[in-house]
Structure 1
Amino acid sequence: MTTTSTEIRSVVVEREIPYPPEKIWRALTQPQLIEEWLMKNDFKPVVGHGFSLRADWGAVDCQVQAIEPNKTLSYTWAAYGLESVVTWTLTPTDAGTRLRMEQSGFRSDQQQAFQGAKHGWQQFFGKLEQVLARVD
């Protein structure tokens, strides 16, 4: 019996962060800040720009898909057979910003990548909040 599951799953992390969208945006789009909380990179906030994220374990190939300053950033995230899209959404709130990250595109046979992303993004968010607390 063969199953033809085309279930595509997403990892979503959402946090209320006590800083304005503009400040969080800088941490999401400035290469030196991205390096502090995510990975080494050659990111440019330009639609169509191809960039890579590099870590000890390897690299992720990315391409900027959409960009709306202080609101939305989306890029492809391809590594080890995973073809996914990471989308950041920034929504101003009374207390700061609701930051939402969705990584979509995990197939049902990519359980390890899915679990790894669920764990990894929690850590990245923690580092991002540390960076935000430190920069002006």
Structure 2
Amino acid sequence: MNDNLTIHPDGRTTLRMQRRLPHPPAKVWRAITQPEHLAHWFPANITIDGDRITYGFGPQGHITELDPPHVFAHTWGDDELRWELHPDGDGSILTLTHTFTDLHGAASFAAGWHTCIQALLAHLDERPAHHPASTARLHEDYIAILGLDPATTAHGDTDGDTDGDTVRLERQLTRHADHVWRVLDGHHATPGQTPPAPFTPPGLQPGPVTRAESGKLLEYDIPGGTVRWELTEGTGHGARLIITCTGAAPTTLGAWRNHTAELASSLVD
């Protein structure tokens, strides 16, 4: 398995995944380009009409490169997919590159494509595919494999005063927002009271809750700043978590990173 990310200067991200398949390129080519074969493993119902592709839902795409049996490249809305085949003994090397704008969705994309390629291999082997009940653990593994760090920090003033730092974390989760809210004990969040313990990492002194919207948002004061938790629509089947902590000391960055990692781990079945 050879999977990695490239972040481009324009803000787009490319996920590259490479697998050896014990089948010749001609056979694999049919499986990755013909709708009757794609139906067994691709995550959408593909229809190809000339260079136009429809996926059964969401935006359409078009074929951007076709070099049988080596390269099949196409768009899916704003995303770009490129499938490359090279012979390797009696088998093939399949390389998928997926270019997209949502960096923090990369683990969801990787987990999804890994599962699809496993189904592709089963189809090539002419055996039933195993469809996992959940890809949550695989998603969390890909967070580590791809080196996705959810945390950033920036100075909040021109003097570089550390008391003015802003810590921001963005992380794709594997469960829907209502479930995450219950895990955070969010139903006990009350304006004017201190937030439930799961909303605060060790070492941070919380003040009163200033705003709470069930399953969506919680804000509270801290000495010299504020903390804001947001749960929004994410990539895949879970919510996107965004935490913004203003007026934070640089030492809180690691605490927030660990806190969100522990939360994400607790959501895995």
For the residues of structure 2 that align with 1:111 and 1:42, how far apart are their CA atoms? 28
Q: Is 1:92 equivalent to 2:94 in the alignment?
A: no
Alignment of 1:40-55 (within 5 A): 40-44=45-49, 46=50, 49-54=51-56
Alignment of 1:11-50 (within 5 A): 11-38=15-42, 39-44=44-49, 46=50, 49-50=51-52
Q: Is 1:124 equivalent to 2:129 in the alignment?
A: no
Give 2:248's aligned residue.
Answer: none
Higher strand share: 1
Please state whether the residue corresponding to 1:132 is helix, strand or coil.
Answer: helix
Deviation at 1:52, TM superposition (A): 1.3
Total equivalences in the alignment: 118
Please state whether the residue corresponding to 2:27 is helix, strand or coil.
Answer: helix
For the residues of structure 1 that align with 2:38 and 2:97, how far apart are their CA atoms? 17
Larger Rg belongs to? 2
Q: Is 1:75 equivalent to 2:74 in the alignment?
A: yes
Deviation at 1:114, TM superposition (A): 2.4
Deviation at 1:34, TM superposition (A): 0.5
For the residues of structure 1 that align with 2:105 and 2:95, how far apart are their CA atoms? 20
Partners of 2:20 and 2:93 within 8 A in 1: yes
For the residues of structure 2 that align with 1:126 and 1:41, how far apart are their CA atoms? 19
What RMSD over aligned residues (CA atoms) do the two structures have, in Å?
1.8
Deviation at 1:66, TM superposition (A): 0.6
Partners of 2:13 and 2:103 within 8 A in 1: no
Segments of 5+ residues of structure 2 without an aligned counterpart are 1-8, 128-269
- TM-score when normalising by structure 2: 0.41
Segments of 5+ residues of structure 1 without an aligned counterpart are none
For the residues of structure 2 that align with 1:34 and 1:126, how far apart are their CA atoms? 13
Partners of 1:29 and 1:43 within 8 A in 2: no
Give 2:58's aligned residue.
Answer: 59
For the residues of structure 2 that align with 1:53 and 1:31, how far apart are their CA atoms? 11
Percent identical residues: 21
- TM-score when normalising by structure 1: 0.78
Deviation at 1:6, TM superposition (A): 2.8
For the residues of structure 2 that align with 1:59 and 1:32, how far apart are their CA atoms? 20
Residue identity matched to 2:83: W
Please state whether the residue corresponding to 1:127 is helix, strand or coil.
Answer: helix
For the residues of structure 1 that align with 2:28 and 2:80, how far apart are their CA atoms? 20
For the residues of structure 1 that align with 2:32 and 2:69, how far apart are their CA atoms? 10
Moved segments of 4+, more than 6 Å: none
For the residues of structure 2 that align with 1:132 and 1:30, how far apart are their CA atoms? 13
